[in-house]
Structure 1
Amino acid sequence: MPVRWRDLDAFNHVNNSKYLSYLEEARLHWMLGVPGQGLDDDVAPVVAAAHLNYRRPIEWPKQVRITLFVERLGNTSLTIGHRIVDAEDADTLYCDGHVVMVWIDRQTGQAAPLPPAVREACQA
């Protein structure tokens, strides 16, 4: 993923809020590969928690690589670990942490079971 000029803050590095945008984009790309995408008229995922460790600033111009992995698979939630590294040097770690996604019933707003397609994709 390319770092965009508009992602920079007054200190000429990527603003901390943009890290969340990068992670969201990576999760969306992953979800597009899941049959049914884990959402339908009845259920959809929401971010319940996000934990980011900012290890070093990302400067422009850079390309970053985002790796996602399953840390925990629950009944209604999924904890997705993440790493943002330099695309040319994977030893340069910019950020790590995790995001908790909870599937909710669109009608009630209550937690709903993980869709089978999501569970299968996480166990593959």
Structure 2
Amino acid sequence: MTAFVAEVPLRWTDQDAYRHVNHARIVTLVEEARVALAFTAAGREGLAGFSSGLLVAGLHVEYKRQLPWRPEPLRCAITVRELRAASFVLDYALHDGPGAGDPVAVTAWTRMALYDLEADRVRRLTVDERDFLERHLGDVS
């Protein structure tokens, strides 16, 4: 099992008065990495269920170091844990640069729930969705 890796670009407006990435903008960067996994990568495999109903049920962020703004994208590694019938947890390691060897500046997790918008209720993962997520089970790096 391997982590899913997304490169997330920084925008000029992501920085604060100290030229660091603002703490609240980190959540947006993590979201962009999640979209790359659940919408883009899954969509390329014909899995549209995530993009039609996936909710954040919980969020936790830990800031390990200041993240200076730069024009190069950041590396965000995502792994899956607690894969259940209708939910799962995504763990994120946001690196201080684009490389695998760059230090981790932020760790985070989101508890995700599958949701059927038409029925207005939580739904179970399909077999194909579970298979897709199982490829990324493990420790974030």
With the shorter chain as reference, the TM-score category is: 0.7 to 0.9
How many residues matched?
122
1:60 aligns with 2:69: yes
Q: Pick from 43, 48, 53 the counterpart of residue 37 of structure 1.
A: 48
1:7 to 3, 7, 14: 14
- Displaced runs of 4+ in structure 1, greater than 3 A? none
Q: So what's the TM-score if we normalise by structure 1? A: 0.86
* C-alpha deviation, 1:112, in angstroms: 1.1
The runs of 5 or more residues in structure 1 that have no matched partner are none
Could you tell me which residue of structure 2 aligns to residue 99 of structure 1?
Answer: 110
Gaps of 5+ in 2: 1-7, 136-141
- Greater CA drift, 28-37 or 93-102: 28-37
Q: What amino acid is the match of 1:67?
A: A
2: CA distance between counterparts of 1:63 and 1:33? 18
RMSD between superposed Cα atoms in Å: 1.9
Secondary structure, aligned partner of 1:52: strand
- Normalization by structure 2: what TM-score? 0.76
Cα contact 1:37–1:118 (8 A) shared by 2: no
